[in-house]
Amino acid sequence: MRLTLFDLDHTLLPLDSDYAWGQFTVKLGWRDEADFGRANDRFYQAYKDGTLDIHEYVRFATDAVRERGMAVAQAAHERFMAEVIRPAMTEQARALVRAHQAAGDTVVIVTATNEFVTRPIARAFGVDELIAIDLATGPDGAITGDIRGIPSFRQGKVLRVEQWLADRGLRWSDLQHTTFYSDSPNDLPLLEKVHEPVATNPDERLSAVARERGWRILQLFE
């Protein structure tokens, strides 16, 4: 197997889908704009700084879905896809995914954003395999705000990919070639694990690491 892994936010998308979904719930009137904005900005800055408490953030990020119920939230997400996500999906990003698929690679999106937000986005890119934050559910099937299993965040991305491989009877050593595209230094554990790390639309910190280590740098949206 040749395995190609993609981060999602600011890698394949020129935006953060979790942040954008939060802003969309404000637009729908589900959240107070000022209060939500302050909290959302605080979490987003913590993510960029590498200090995010992923469990606290997921509880915050799923508040609106839990309060409105899954049926209402899914209908809103369809609007979110049409109004926010699909217009942001560039041909350059679509073409990159298609090129790896055409080459016979197995393509997986590996993201620290939760599965409710990202599953439809992965499908829109034509990617069936998604590793995202899995959401715990209660006896009634409603999401609880907790994370199920290992969160696909920082070192957790490596562990989740290993789980994904193990489910298929594979290990890293069985793979002919592995590639990972990411914009974030939060993803250094997985970037360091693959054969071909690609710093994609990287921030200053990841750019510096990539230059020092001789990694390819890709500016996908220029």
Domains of the chain plus CATH, in order, are 2-218 (3.40.50.1000)
pLDDT tens by residue, 155-165: 999 999 999 99
Is residue 41 pLDDT above 90, yes or no? no
The set of residues, in sequence order, having a beta carbon less than 8 Å from that of 122 and lying 6+ positions away, is: 8, 109, 128, 129, 130
Question: What's the pLDDT score for residue 47?
Answer: 81
Percent with pLDDT over 90 in the chain: 92
Place of tokens 């020129």: 14
Token pair recorded at residue 102 = 């055409």
What pLDDT, on the 0 to 100 scale, is given for residue 147?
Answer: 97
Q: 3-class DSSP state for residue 15?
A: coil
pLDDT at 48: 79
Listed residue (177, 181, 185, 178) closest to 218, CA to CA: 181
Predicted pLDDT of residue 121: 98
Give the burial string for 15-54 (b: 16+ CB within 10 Å, else e).
ebbbbbbbbbbbeeebbeeeebeebbeebbeebbeeebeb
* Block residue for tokens 């829109």: 124
User: pLDDT, tens digit, for every residue of 65-121?
Assistant: 999 999 999 999 999 999 999 999 999 999 999 999 999 999 999 999 999 999 999
Confidence of residue 54 (pLDDT cuts 50, 70, 90): very high
Q: Which residues are catalytic?
A: 7, 9
pLDDT at residue 1, rounded to an integer: 93
- If you average pLDDT over residues 200-219, what whole number do you get? 97
At residue 63 the predicted structure's pLDDT band, cuts being 50, 70 and 90, is: very high
Round the average pLDDT of the chain to a whole number and report it. 96
